[in-house]
Structure 1
Amino acid sequence: MEAAVDAARAAELAAALGLHPLAARVLAARGHADPAEAEAFLAARLADLPDPFRMKGMEAAVERIARALEGGERIACYGDYDVDGVTSTALLCGFLRAAGADVVTYTPHRLVEGYGLNGDAVRSLAAQGVRLLVTLDCGITSVDEVRVAAGLGVDTVVVDHHTVPVELPAAAAILNPHQPGCAYPSKDLAAVGVTFALAMALRRRLRERGRFGPARPEPNLKEVLDLVALGTVADVVPLVGANRILVRWGLEQLATSRRPGVRALKRVAGIADGTPVTAGQVGFRLAPRINAAGRLDDAGRGVRLLLSGDAAAAQALADELDRENQARQEIERRILEQALADAGARVAAGARGLVLARDGWHAGVVGIVASRVVERFHRPAVLVALEDGAGKGSGRSIEGFHLYDALAACSGHLARFGGHRHAAGVTVERAQVEPFRAAFEAHAAATIADEDLVPRCRIDGWVGDAEVTEDAAEGLARLGPFGAGHPEPVFALRGAAARARTVGAGGAHLKLALGRGLDAIGFGMGDRAPACGGPVDAAFTIGFDEWDGTRRLQLKLKDLRPAR
């Protein structure tokens, strides 16, 4: 599927901004054909971040937190156990401590307490003297728990980005760009992005009130953008608008971060200090290690890692998380093998949506496996880990199928659910698994068309062999960072000669010499070698392979087929 583009406008854009023609083509097709708008998109200036006070609830949130600071009230930062929640907690806690607050953190145990605010934790925090509770990456559905907090004399500020329910908690303030009537223009912030906006607004208000001075320096918010990049990329939100700006500068901060926890995390992930950090490295190397803490045990270790000021303690925590990530990978391999077999049977029976459940699956890992099942079968999938009389599960979806709405349609069979269009979590009683499966499959059958089940490789355009050059790779790199909502550009050659061989353990990967001899690698595509017996249509990204100080042009294959 090729992106539509106005060739004349793309040429004008290339001339106006000195862009490579392929880069201009991509920008124009993605809605940035106006030179001024394209220049702002490329520059991604911090000064272009929206005013945080445009967010509904910000004035009330800032006022309540400032009052707690000035009155010496104890504040609890209660964050979710994933990377977005962990980074949100570390960011706000670090800021509040720098501003002189009495602050504690709390991260619920995924397997014991589950997602979100819970009454026992609220009562425990109140007993510790907490008078203001700030929920981070959770809380938007916590009507009962916020009521419990209020009954104990604890006010709540909700900082969240998940789908807004009909009934909202009676909190002192709610920050969520999806609220009706919220004028904040970037609706797709991760929770850590909402938290950063809160920190921006708080700093401004505290500065006006004279909170900072020689004895208490004003926090430099640019230094926390490493946390914002980690949480934003890990939560797979669109890298456009404010998210693009935050991640653009956050990746720079990650490369040079003085935070001991980040430096230790990069070390165990094999990323040298001072070298550029990409969004891909965040998503596939750094984030999984932070997530491993919460998937298998105590996610509070991720918060402690990111807040640690001691290099040795941070390294010990990073080593621990690295070991847990390896254990998580082994558990994931076992569950994936079983899930693929179960999914294959359901697909053969005609299912367009998948609900898979087994005893012995790990609740902290089923979300990752659900993503793999969706990739393989191109159907929305909910995987449930059963234990005793109930199960906890995670779901992932495909384009065109709103997962949260689907779960809402099946909510009569669920004890609890939450999430958004692409990902969600559920709690379901064992006796309700089969009725839930039937309802979910029926909803999918009614809403998913035949064409939705066919995976498509979207390309930004067909190119000629001569257009694939180092200049093109450098020009396209200017469009980064890439991620959800702004993927790395994909181009395609039509009818190209292909000399193929397999590489890696068991011939897992496909190595091609395309056209004039362009070097191409297809990771995990070794089984596609038979398609290369003649000319092929090949889709790929254009970049560089860097090894041992040398750099060379390399294409990364996304798809291929015999030439048509």
Structure 2
Amino acid sequence: MLQSKYQWKLSSCDAEASRRLEQQLGIPPLLASLLVTRGIKHPEEASRFMDQSLLDQHDPYQMSGVKEAVPRIRQAVESGERILIYGDYDADGVSSTALMIELMRRLKASYEFYIPHRSKEGYGLHNHALKQAHENGISLIITVDTGISAVEQISYASELGIDVIVTDHHEPPLKLPEAYALINPKLPYCPYPFKGLAGVGVAYKLASALLGEDTPDAWLELVALGTIADLMPLIDENRVLVRKGLKQMTESSFPGMSALLHIAGWNPGEVSATNVAFGLAPRINAAGRMSHAFEALDVLTATHMEAAEAAAEKLDLLNRERQQLVDDIVREAFERIEAIEAVGPVPNVLVVAGEGWNVGVVGIVASKILERYYRPTLVLGINSATGECKGSARSIPGFDIYEALTHCDELLDHYGGHPAAAGMSLHVSHLEEFEQRLNDFSQAILKPEHFIPSLQAELECRLGEITLPVIEQLAQLEPFGMGNPSPRLLLREAELLDYRQMGKDSKHLKLTIRQDGNVMEAVAFGKGEIYTLLSPEARVNLVVEAGINEWNGRRKPQLFIQDISIPDLQVFDYRDPLDPGMKIEELCSKMLNISYCSAGSLAVVSTRRADLLSIGHLPGISAWVYDKERGIYPGSAESEWDEAVTVKTLFVMELPESPDIWNKMLSGFANLERVFLLHPRSSVEVIEAPSRERFKQVYVFLRKYVGPDGCSEEQVIVNIMSRLGITRRMVYFILDIFTELDFVSRTEGRIMVNPEPSKRPLESAQSYQALGLLAEMEQILLYEEVPQITEWITCQLQGVS
């Protein structure tokens, strides 16, 4: 058994609407059902969604502020005014700035640009930058991806005689700045039909209003980059813009884009949203986090490949430094949280702060902590010289982190954000009270169900439905991303044929699965740790995304695993190990480093205390001894009775003396998920299933061999063993049964045959029945293969539950 990391939720599908799409559009049932689950039920709507040539871009002049901005920019260009482009330091802001630079170059305008430093200045317009702009002769500022909340700063710019045109996509505040023009589709009075544009998308609409049909298609590469990086929904107009931009990237007009793609490991061919999200965006963002966003802007605005490649290499180096820095802070943060775990429960809201932590990466760190602990997380860097703490928060569904910060606003110097993510600053002297206030606030909101992450699957299907032609047709739903995710499919009861770790440090996993005779490979990125918890022929449930594996000119379907579960008990065969204790220690050292296994969930059981001496000292594993009367009892001082119910993984070092003891053990470990068999086989004397013929042979021998005065029991046993080929252990069981039935009597080492035995049948003896059960248990646990053992133990568990 392997618990899924997420709670799976399956979308409902209107079967009739799906059949209608399938029949009228001639598309596979899987594709038709996916469209319906996404709310696309009518054939005309589905055709338009799949064939994006049928979708038109919205008229930029529908966006409020554009009609005022266009003539003002033209006037500035024609009269030679100096224009400042004011951007932001994230990938959307850098893309927006680069696009506006392209526009200024095309217009032959007199311009300069400015992006604030992330940690030294922070987000938004700053008066010192506006003052410098005035001194440089700037008379017009065009903001990109920023400015909608800059009421005081834009008022200051007006005092300096500078007109400001704001292009932004963030939520507008109640009080708006008095700018020359405000261009933001989210303005309450703006009639623009699509509200989900990225900052670069808004900048592009302004550019296209200025240039009309002469707007270069190449600029859509920048739109695609910023839109994907800023996690904007890939629906409506964004879907059109990004799809065209990705197509342009395959033969990019930007030397810097090509250089970044190659350094990120892209092979010539189609560029996907995934290439951008995981290859380009982190490198663009690394500049603002680790140095200055100008480093990223240098890449996107480079005009020669040599300069672009050099700039891209700098970004790649910054990104690697960023990754190492994040790893270091995450490790330190985990150590602090684990110290809290050691003395009590983890709080509802995690607040972790450290001196010298780079505030440019604390948001990434918060995301990684949330992924592991799944609770609202705030990570702050402390400036030891000033005592100022700057941080980022990431939250879970159901807990509005912006509302929580508002509850603590008197402790904060600044804060902002939305329900899922936020930023804040405060003095270190307020940090302890801040954490307490957040957790007090959470008590009335967060319930146990909030701490269970969920994963949405759109459709349950069989492996045979995921064919190469179907996956190729799923491409009509691209680009995939926020608001238009890659389809997630639920597969149940697939047989695990093969599995292996792969990649650096064995971080990833490759499975081969079979269902209904269809075989397919599945890759699980970042799940290499669960290799130890997989067993051959296990039946697995998977939530997957489907893709195509291309290698040496061959194309075949491939699955990408999002989550995995094994619903049934698993048995692992390590019987007859050379050193059971060493093998258990090896397995435990791996398992206790797996997020799926926790200290207290592992136990070892044996018939002898001596076997447990080398095991009981291992941290995180309890030791137990079989007992005839009680089944099991703690075998070391560190083990407690109430720990039995927490045990999910059991290591069996020795078989018990009877099935009854085995069943008592199973009832004690009521929540078992997996059993590792490490008991010896070769040293165990065989016992046979009871046979009337075998018992008759022994009885005939006894009557012939044992005289009226009896005989040495040891001598009788040796003779039975040699003449009838029965093991000593089996002879003892037979003699015990004969004794119970009064066929023989045994006293002081001698055995006598009763000349007039009772006529009781063999089956009436309790020891005869016990022998049958014991023989069955040992036959299965000693000699059968894993599937038969698993089935038997599962039946036993059902019997004792």
Match of 2:319 in 1: 325
The CA deviation at 1:346 is: 6.1
SS in 1 for 2:174: coil
Match of 1:543 in 2: 547
Deviates more, 1:117-126 or 1:333-342: 333-342
For the pair 1:53 / 2:61, whether they are aligned, the reply is yes
The CA deviation at 1:165 is: 1.8
Alignment of 1:105-254 (within 5 A): 105-204=113-212, 219-254=214-249
Q: Any idea what the Cα deviations from partners look like across 1:199-228, whole Å, max 9, x if unmatched?
A: 122224xxxxxxxxxxxxx74331100000
What is the identity, as a one-letter code, of the residue corresponding to 1:541?
E
For the pair 1:264 / 2:263, whether they are aligned, the reply is no
Deviates more, 1:10-19 or 1:537-546: 10-19
> In structure 2, do the counterparts of structure 1 residues 16 and 402 end up closer, same or farther at CA, with 3 Å as the change threshold?
farther
Q: Any idea what the Cα deviations from partners look like across 1:129-163, whole Å, max 9, x if unmatched?
A: 11111221121222221122111111212222222
What is the identity, as a one-letter code, of the residue corresponding to 1:322?
D
Match of 2:375 in 1: 379
Q: Distance in 2 between matches of 1:373 and 1:238?
A: 25
Q: Distance in 2 between matches of 1:341 and 1:222?
A: 50
Alignment of 1:350-499 (within 5 A): 350-387=346-383, 388=385, 389-499=387-497
The CA deviation at 1:188 is: 1.8
What is the identity, as a one-letter code, of the residue corresponding to 1:477?
A
Q: Distance in 2 between matches of 1:176 and 1:429?
A: 34
* Residues 259 and 309, structure 1, Cα contact 8 Å, conserved in 2: yes
> In structure 2, do the counterparts of structure 1 residues 409 and 15 end up closer, same or farther at CA, with 3 Å as the change threshold?
farther
Q: Any idea what the Cα deviations from partners look like across 1:55-75, whole Å, max 9, x if unmatched?
A: 233223334323322332211
SS in 2 for 1:493: strand
Q: Any idea what the Cα deviations from partners look like across 1:424-471, whole Å, max 9, x if unmatched?
A: 322222223233323333344433343222111211111123212222
* Residues 122 and 149, structure 1, Cα contact 8 Å, conserved in 2: yes
* Residues 382 and 396, structure 1, Cα contact 8 Å, conserved in 2: yes
The CA deviation at 1:46 is: 8.3
What is the identity, as a one-letter code, of the residue corresponding to 1:522?
A
Match of 2:512 in 1: 513
Q: Distance in 2 between matches of 1:455 and 1:164?
A: 31
The CA deviation at 1:16 is: 2.5
SS in 2 for 1:497: strand
What is the identity, as a one-letter code, of the residue corresponding to 1:93?
I
Deviates more, 1:428-437 or 1:295-304: 428-437
What is the identity, as a one-letter code, of the residue corresponding to 2:492?
R
> In structure 2, do the counterparts of structure 1 residues 61 and 355 end up closer, same or farther at CA, with 3 Å as the change threshold?
farther
Q: Distance in 1 between matches of 2:51 and 2:439?
A: 45
Q: Distance in 2 between matches of 1:446 and 1:50?
A: 45
* Residues 141 and 168, structure 1, Cα contact 8 Å, conserved in 2: yes
Match of 2:726 in 1: none
Match of 2:775 in 1: none
Deviates more, 1:513-522 or 1:335-344: 335-344
* Residues 354 and 440, structure 1, Cα contact 8 Å, conserved in 2: no
The CA deviation at 1:379 is: 2.0
* Residues 48 and 55, structure 2, Cα contact 8 Å, conserved in 1: no
Match of 1:527 in 2: 529
Q: Any idea what the Cα deviations from partners look like across 1:382-432, whole Å, max 9, x if unmatched?
A: 211111321222222333444434433433322222333433322222223
> In structure 2, do the counterparts of structure 1 residues 380 and 197 end up closer, same or farther at CA, with 3 Å as the change threshold?
farther
The CA deviation at 1:91 is: 0.5
Q: Distance in 2 between matches of 1:550 and 1:168?
A: 57
Deviates more, 1:341-350 or 1:372-381: 341-350
Deviates more, 1:420-429 or 1:552-561: 420-429
* Residues 351 and 445, structure 1, Cα contact 8 Å, conserved in 2: no
What is the identity, as a one-letter code, of the residue corresponding to 1:513?
T
Aligned length: 550
SS in 1 for 2:457: coil
Percentage of identical aligned residues: 40
Q: Any idea what the Cα deviations from partners look like across 1:485-539, whole Å, max 9, x if unmatched?
A: 1111111111221134331244432222222432111111123345543312111
SS in 2 for 1:418: strand
> In structure 2, do the counterparts of structure 1 residues 343 and 102 end up closer, same or farther at CA, with 3 Å as the change threshold?
farther
Q: Distance in 1 between matches of 2:132 and 2:552?
A: 53
Q: Any idea what the Cα deviations from partners look like across 1:26-69, whole Å, max 9, x if unmatched?
A: 11111111122222222234851222222233223334323322
SS in 2 for 1:256: coil
* Residues 111 and 297, structure 1, Cα contact 8 Å, conserved in 2: no
> In structure 2, do the counterparts of structure 1 residues 8 and 328 end up closer, same or farther at CA, with 3 Å as the change threshold?
same
Please, which of 54, 59, 72 is the counterpart of residue 80 of structure 2? 72
The CA deviation at 1:318 is: 0.9
> In structure 2, do the counterparts of structure 1 residues 173 and 34 end up closer, same or farther at CA, with 3 Å as the change threshold?
same
Q: Any idea what the Cα deviations from partners look like across 1:62-113, whole Å, max 9, x if unmatched?
A: 3432332233221111111010000000101211221122111111111211
> In structure 2, do the counterparts of structure 1 residues 97 and 478 end up closer, same or farther at CA, with 3 Å as the change threshold?
same
Q: Distance in 2 between matches of 1:66 and 1:349?
A: 62
What is the identity, as a one-letter code, of the residue corresponding to 1:442?
D
* Residues 348 and 439, structure 2, Cα contact 8 Å, conserved in 1: yes
Q: Distance in 2 between matches of 1:362 and 1:260?
A: 31
Deviates more, 1:512-521 or 1:277-286: 512-521
What is the identity, as a one-letter code, of the residue corresponding to 2:369?
V
Q: Distance in 2 between matches of 1:178 and 1:227?
A: 21
Match of 2:649 in 1: none
SS in 2 for 1:511: strand
Q: Distance in 2 between matches of 1:443 and 1:236?
A: 29
- Considering only CA atoms, is the larger Rg found in Structure 1 or Structure 2? 2
SS in 1 for 2:469: helix
For the pair 1:554 / 2:562, whether they are aligned, the reply is no
What is the identity, as a one-letter code, of the residue corresponding to 2:61?
F
Q: Distance in 1 between matches of 2:70 and 2:353?
A: 44
> In structure 2, do the counterparts of structure 1 residues 317 and 380 end up closer, same or farther at CA, with 3 Å as the change threshold?
same
TM-score relative to the length of structure 1: 0.92
For the pair 1:285 / 2:262, whether they are aligned, the reply is no
Deviates more, 1:354-363 or 1:411-420: 411-420
> In structure 2, do the counterparts of structure 1 residues 563 and 241 end up closer, same or farther at CA, with 3 Å as the change threshold?
same
> In structure 2, do the counterparts of structure 1 residues 221 and 323 end up closer, same or farther at CA, with 3 Å as the change threshold?
same
Structure possessing the higher relative contact order (Cα contacts under 8 Å, 6 or more residues apart): 1
Q: Distance in 2 between matches of 1:62 and 1:194?
A: 13
SS in 2 for 1:170: coil
Q: Distance in 2 between matches of 1:41 and 1:412?
A: 48
> In structure 2, do the counterparts of structure 1 residues 118 and 491 end up closer, same or farther at CA, with 3 Å as the change threshold?
same
> In structure 2, do the counterparts of structure 1 residues 105 and 507 end up closer, same or farther at CA, with 3 Å as the change threshold?
same
* Residues 146 and 166, structure 2, Cα contact 8 Å, conserved in 1: yes
Q: Give the RMSD, CA atoms, in angstroms.
A: 2.1
* Residues 99 and 219, structure 1, Cα contact 8 Å, conserved in 2: no
SS in 2 for 1:555: strand
Match of 1:276 in 2: 270
Q: Any idea what the Cα deviations from partners look like across 1:294-330, whole Å, max 9, x if unmatched?
A: 1111211212221121222111111111111111111
Match of 1:14 in 2: 22
